[in-house]
């Protein structure tokens, strides 16, 4: 474990950060098979940090042809084939108990705040650099063991993790609000142009 301090810090924090492995914080849970009755029992993980949505966006889905596993709120979920395309999220409470296939595994987050872990691994320079780690022929994948071997730098206190996670959550919320306003203005402009 190497120690290092970032250049930019919140006031009052001076301790070194530790370089650890994701496997220190992401644990493989017991796999519980899900009995899928409809697409509503599933969730879809989007690319480019697009998050999760209830249901399946695959029109070709044949229920019963794939094995699905139940996922829990608070778990870190990612796409084996698309981790390096930003396919990752923390499962929200409203999707607790929904299912995904084995190619979209979820891992229990322990010993670290999930908000901090997500902020760290969702940086574009982090996940984009992991494509070389994918293995397999044809469609390459990042399996759980490979993911768990990736490095992460961690503040020594949960208070600093909380501040970092909160800052980025606030920034994301602000961006979302302004994005909605921008989308509405674009629609308004489009309507005026048509008239």
Q: Is the pTM of this model over 0.85?
A: no
| Residue 160: other Cβ atoms inside 10 A | 20
Res 61: pLDDT: 55
What does the alpha-carbon distance between residue 27 and residue 106 come to, in Å, rounded to a whole number?
Answer: 9
Residues 129-184 pLDDT 10s: 888 888 887 788 999 999 999 999 988 778 888 888 888 788 877 887 888 888 88
pLDDT at 3 > cutoff 80? no
Return the sign of the alpha-carbon dihedral for residues 168, 149, 145, 133: positive
Res 112: pLDDT: 93
Res 57: pLDDT: 67
């Amino acid at each position: 474990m190497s120690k290092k301090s970032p250049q930019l810090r919140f006031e009052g924090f001076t301790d070194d950060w530790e370089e650890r492995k994701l496997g220190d914080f992401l644990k493989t849970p017991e796999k519980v098979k899900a009995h899928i009755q409809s697409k509503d029992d599933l969730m879809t993980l989007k690319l480019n940090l697009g998050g999760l949505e209830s249901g399946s966006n695959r029109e070709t889905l044949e229920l019963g042809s794939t094995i699905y596993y139940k996922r829990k709120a608070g778990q870190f979920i990612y796409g084996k084939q698309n981790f390096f395309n930003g396919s990752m999220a923390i499962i929200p409470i409203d999707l607790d108990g929904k299912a995904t296939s084995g190619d979209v595994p979820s891992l229990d987050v322990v010993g670290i705040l999930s908000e901090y872990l997500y902020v760290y691994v969702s940086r574009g320079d982090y996940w984009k650099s992991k494509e070389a780690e994918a293995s397999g022929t044809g469609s390459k994948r990042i399996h759980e063991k490979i993911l768990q071997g990736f490095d992460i730098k961690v503040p020594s206190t949960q208070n600093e993790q909380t501040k970092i996670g909160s800052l980025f959550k606030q920034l994301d919320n602000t961006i979302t609000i302004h994005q909605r306003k921008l989308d509405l203005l674009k629609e308004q402009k489009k309507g005026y142009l048509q008239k």
